[in-house]
Amino acid sequence: MQQELHKMKINNRRYIGCKTKLLEYINKEVEKYHFKDGSSFVDLFAGTGVVAYYFAQKGYKTIVNDLLYSNYVVYKALLGKEKMSLSKIDKLISKFNSINSKRLQDNYFSKTYGNKYFSINDAKKIGYIRDEIETNKNKLNKREYFYLISCLIYSCDKIANTVGHYESFLKTKPLDKNFILKPIEIDSNITPGIIYNSDANLLSKKINADIVYLDPPYNARQYVNFYHVLENLARWNKPTVFEGNSMKFKRNELKSNYCRKKAPQLFDELIKNLKCKLIIVSYSNTYKAGSISSVNTISPGQILDSLKKKGNVIVKKIKYPAFNSGKTDMSNHKEILYICEVDNES
Ligand SMILES: C[S@@+](CC[C@H](N)C(=O)[O-])C[C@H]1O[C@@H](n2cnc3c(N)ncnc32)[C@H](O)[C@@H]1O
């Protein structure tokens, strides 16, 4: 008999800058403005999607977006509209999990990442399952397809030979972890979202909403560098990778301009283009950080200047534990929320 698998939740994933711990704070601020039921909430740099998901569970109509396809896939699965056949999904997951990885042949994933991010056997199984999802694509609806890929992304992350991101794999040889594809919890009562995989600045010109939440990257560290293995697994174009201690593929178009010098100008343009009533911006004060890549690309003053052109701004400082790769003293770390009530005429 197939053992009942523990279901993962949307936040059961290691993602730098994930705002699970901030959800109640953000909600407390939003509630002060008494938006009516069914108002719209946009998460333009959604990452894991936990913020949009939280508001979708409260009945908000969400618009969810991220530059990375591996994040888009998860929104399509967890905030999608289509009905999924859970029995079909269960059967496929059981079938995949019953496979003995030692009997599998080498494949793209094991050749690329085996003995680096995963043991050879675990990598063979992950690559085999990803190929099988493609083979079965015509028997799945779009949401079922995205759901299975999402489960694979989350399950991989649980066993990867890393410190939590894929900038490099650990020097120690990865052990066999007997890879298991685990399901992610689906909330059948959630209000479905409208989902994009776009550049936030392009999308900002097209949307009209009540609340817009912004949580862009604020330093030189590119998210696609942190999560390239999962991005490659989701896209499955099987590109060649650069040898070395990270095995990254060519990914220039996935790099964010928010991690570059032009970030303040981009942020200003983004704010100018938004058509909404309330803007909430998350910001981490790593500005005086110790390493160059942790130095913020946008300063608190620049955020304030851009927002003040749009309306009245309130600043809330929250003590909150941050991601820190070691060189930076974060004992004074604060997460800041900027809340801007947009003037009618803007
Ligand atoms: C700080 S993280 C967001 C974390 C998210 N709030 C959460 O709780 O998981 C920033 C996100 O912005 C995305 N991103 C970077 N540049 C972008 C752009 N130009 N347009 C859309 N998304 C972008 C990154 O891929 C990353 O997922």
**What pLDDT does 321 receive?**
57
**What pLDDT does 291 receive?**
64
| Helices and strands (H, E) in the chain, number of each type | 12, 7
Ligand 1 nearest-atom number relative to CA 43: 6
- Beta pairing, strands 40-43 & 211-214: parallel
Residue 240 lies inside a defined structural domain of this protein: yes
How close is the Cα of 179 to the center of ligand 1, in Å? 28
68 lines ligand 1 (CB under 6 A): yes
For residue 205, give Cα distances in angstroms to 171, 199, 249, 285, 344.
Answer: 45, 11, 31, 28, 18
- pLDDT tens sequence for the chain (346 residues): 345 678 999 999 999 999 999 999 999 999 999 999 999 999 999 999 999 999 999 999 999 999 999 999 999 999 999 999 999 999 999 999 999 999 999 999 999 999 999 999 999 999 999 999 999 999 999 999 999 999 999 999 999 999 999 999 999 999 999 999 999 999 999 999 999 999 999 999 999 999 999 999 998 899 999 999 999 999 999 999 998 899 999 999 999 999 999 999 999 999 999 999 999 999 986 545 556 666 788 999 999 999 999 999 999 998 765 544 444 455 566 789 999 999 986 6
Residue 2 lies inside a defined structural domain of this protein: no
CATH number at residue 226: 3.40.50.150
How close is the Cα of 77 to the center of ligand 1, in Å? 18
How close is the Cα of 56 to the center of ligand 1, in Å? 18
CB atoms within 10 A of CB 158: 14
**40, 62 contact by CB (below 8 A):** yes
Question: Which structural domain range is residue 139 located in?
Answer: 20-342
> Is 279 in a helix, a strand, or coil?
strand
Residue 40 lies inside a defined structural domain of this protein: yes
Residue 4 lies inside a defined structural domain of this protein: no
How close is the Cα of 44 to the center of ligand 1, in Å? 7
How close is the Cα of 223 to the center of ligand 1, in Å? 8
**130, 181 contact by CB (below 8 A):** no
15 lines ligand 1 (CB under 6 A): yes
Ligand 1 nearest-atom number relative to CA 227: 25
Residue identifier of the C-alpha nearest atom 7 of ligand 1: 18
50 lines ligand 1 (CB under 6 A): yes
Residue identifier of the C-alpha nearest atom 19 of ligand 1: 199
- Note the helical H segments in 79-236: 86-97, 108-113, 120-135, 142-159, 200-204, 223-226, 228-235
How close is the Cα of 52 to the center of ligand 1, in Å? 12
Residue 242 lies inside a defined structural domain of this protein: yes
Ligand 1 nearest-atom number relative to CA 256: 16
Angle between helix 69-78 and helix 228-235 axes, rounded to 10 deg: 60
Number of domains in the chain: 1
Q: Encode pLDDT of 298-312 as tens digits.
A: 999 999 999 999 999
**What pLDDT does 293 receive?**
63
Residue 11 lies inside a defined structural domain of this protein: no
* Ligand 1 pocket: which of 67, 154, 266, 335 to mutate (most atoms within 8 A of CB): 67
* Ligand 1 pocket: which of 14, 15, 202, 223 to mutate (most atoms within 8 A of CB): 223
**97, 151 contact by CB (below 8 A):** no
Integer Cα distance of 62 and 59 in angstroms: 9
Residue 219 lies inside a defined structural domain of this protein: yes
Structure tokens, 45? 């740099």
200 lines ligand 1 (CB under 6 A): yes
256 lines ligand 1 (CB under 6 A): yes
Residue 72 lies inside a defined structural domain of this protein: yes
> Is 137 in a helix, a strand, or coil?
helix
217 lines ligand 1 (CB under 6 A): yes
Residue count of the chain: 346
How close is the Cα of 112 to the center of ligand 1, in Å? 26
pTM: 0.94
Please enumerate in sequence order all residues whose Cβ is within 8 A of that of 296, keeping only pairs 6 or more positions apart, or say none. Answer: 218, 219, 284, 285, 286, 287, 289
* Ligand 1 pocket: which of 18, 66, 252 to mutate (most atoms within 8 A of CB): 66
Integer Cα distance of 116 and 124 in angstroms: 13
**What pLDDT does 285 receive?**
67
Please enumerate in sequence order all residues whose Cβ is within 8 A of that of 30, keeping only pairs 6 or more positions apart, or say none. Answer: 41, 55, 211, 278, 280
How close is the Cα of 165 to the center of ligand 1, in Å? 15
335 lines ligand 1 (CB under 6 A): no
